[in-house]
A = this chain, B = another copy of it.
Amino acid sequence: MENINAIITQAHEAYRLYKNLHKNEIADFLEAIGQSGKEAENDLVETAMEETHLAKPRLQGELQRTVNQTKFFAEMVRNGSWVNVIIDTADNNRQPPKPDLRQMQIPLGVVGVFGASNFPFAYSVAGGDTISALAAGCPVVYKLNPGHPETSKKVAEIMTKVITTLGLPTATFAMLEGQDYETGAQLVSHPLIKAIGFTGSFKGGKALYDTAAKRNEPIPFYAEMGSVNPVFILPQMLNQKSAELAEALLISNQASLGQFCTNPGVILSELSADQKSFEDHFRTLIQKSSSGKMLANNIAQNYTKGIEALKQLGANDVGQGMGDEGELFGMPEMLTISADASLKNPELLHEVFGPGSLHVAAQNKEELIKVAANLEGQLTATIWGTDEDMKDYKELLDILIEKAGRLIFNGVPTGVEVTPAMVHGGPFPATTDSRSTSVGTTAIYRFTRPVCLQNFPDHLLPEALQHDNPLKIIRSVNGSYTDSNG
């Protein structure tokens, strides 16, 4: 068995050195990880194909996105303004004198990361959690995901090699290879772990969260646990574009066999002839969709069980895809249910991870809005509507903003941009901490905290806080943003 305590203790020692590296050294490190990963593309993609059964173009795209993400964070670190400096200069004429106060973000310490089975690159060893933690100045101890151990080991080797080549503290990154629950529990319970990033199922995330909640010292625990990503289609839109919409949503729903955390699993609308026509289109399309190998056998089994459970709860199975069945396979399925039934049994609107699509029909606008108001927290919520529709459905938007991290208008929820404004997060149970995003610039702040230095002479201040602003970063000085002195 691995000596988890020794690994984490070494990572903590590395933290003392790593946090004080020049920002350009950290930026170079992140870029080198991306570049080395790109160089190993063929090998990594083939290994991941074997382990996850995801298609080659999908994995190539994911790898490129992961490489881009290292560049994105490297650029942010090199720029340096992300530390969010706030300066209030002294006022010695005030009684009592007003002190000089300078705030910046600093790294929390060693971060534990749990990667996802459905993203062997982008949400795994060198994925968003790891890279944003390293960008913040935090060493990472990564817990291997049993869904793709060989891919993970190869990426971890790349990272270790980059660390050695650049002469960084060896323990800046380490991977725990234990595949049992106990390994993860030890990671989240260790006193030198100062934050956790997790991507995976509700069951897995909540169990680790509950374990972490028993710690003596509370720590930030960021679990991104997925959601049903409800799509609301309003009456006029349904009337104008039912065929187009069915196609767009089917593609979004069946991409990678529905194995995306932003998969539109639930589609809601009001009973009408147009709604009937939409469902007919969708059924025809799903019947032409192919089954395929899911990420792992337990995931395929959970999917089949999940669809079965929805039927037990009263959902009607109105159409299914074609192709092979059996071990590992997931079969596209379309189910329908009344809004009333979903209100009576909220379990109908729990995530079933895979290529299923549940269509919820409301009697009228009031019932549709009632379903929206009863939704649990979501990563995304989508509205399809015309301008006319939206005159009548302002309340729906107002409610959905309370429920989700990201709202999409006349589009599909799959496809998560790595950009400053992105929010890939949302209220519980989509995540355990709605104040955060696991994608985009602000993901870095999951692993930092503010510190304020009062009345320090300039030469003792970190460069980011010095009067002359030697890093030339954007700072808030006495209430105004500036890259000048302060």
Mark A residues whose CB is within 8 Å of B.
16, 20, 86-88, 96, 98-99, 101-103, 106, 108-109, 209, 213, 217-218, 220-221, 387, 390, 397-398, 401-402, 404-411, 415, 417, 419-423, 425, 427-429, 432-435, 437, 441-442, 445, 448-457, 460, 474, 476, 479, 481
Contact = CB atoms under 8 A, between A and B. Distances in A.
A409 B450 contact: no
Given A101-B417, A387-B457, A407-B454, 17 more contacts: A16-B398, A88-B421, A101-B419, A101-B422, A103-B422, A106-B401, A213-B213, A218-B432, A397-B460, A407-B451, A407-B452, A408-B454, A409-B460, A410-B455, A421-B452, A422-B452, A442-B450
Contact of A435 (B109, B221, B423, B449): B449
Contacts of A96: 415
Nearest to A434: B449
Contacts of A402: 106, 109
Nearest to A410: B455
**Number of identical protomers:** 2
Contacts of A217: 428-429
B451 A417 contact: no
A128 B302 CA distance: 48
Nearest to A401: B451
Contacts of A437: 450
Nearest to A403: B451
A421 B220 contact: no
Nearest to A98: B417
Contacts of A432: 218
Nearest to A413: B454
Contacts of A220: 433, 435
Given A434-B108, A481-B481, A411 B86 contact: no
A411 B218 contact: no
A151 to B, nearest CB: 26
Nearest to A398: B20
A87 B406 CA distance: 13
Contacts of A476: 420
Contacts of A398: 16, 20
7 contacts: A99-B411, A101-B421, A103-B421, A387-B457, A407-B454, A407-B456, A408-B454
Nearest to A108: B434
Nearest to A480: B474
Nearest to A424: B452
Contacts of A98: 417, 419
Nearest to A212: B213
Give the top 4 A-B pairs by smallest Cβ distance, nearest first: A423-B452, A101-B421, A103-B421, A213-B213
A404 B435 contact: no
Contacts of A419: 88, 98, 101
B454 A409 contact: yes
Contacts of A425: 449-450
Contacts of A101: 417, 419, 421-422
A420 B450 contact: no
A441 B209 CA distance: 30
Contacts of A474: 481
A405 B218 contact: no
A318 to B, nearest CB: 30
Contacts of A453: 406-407, 409
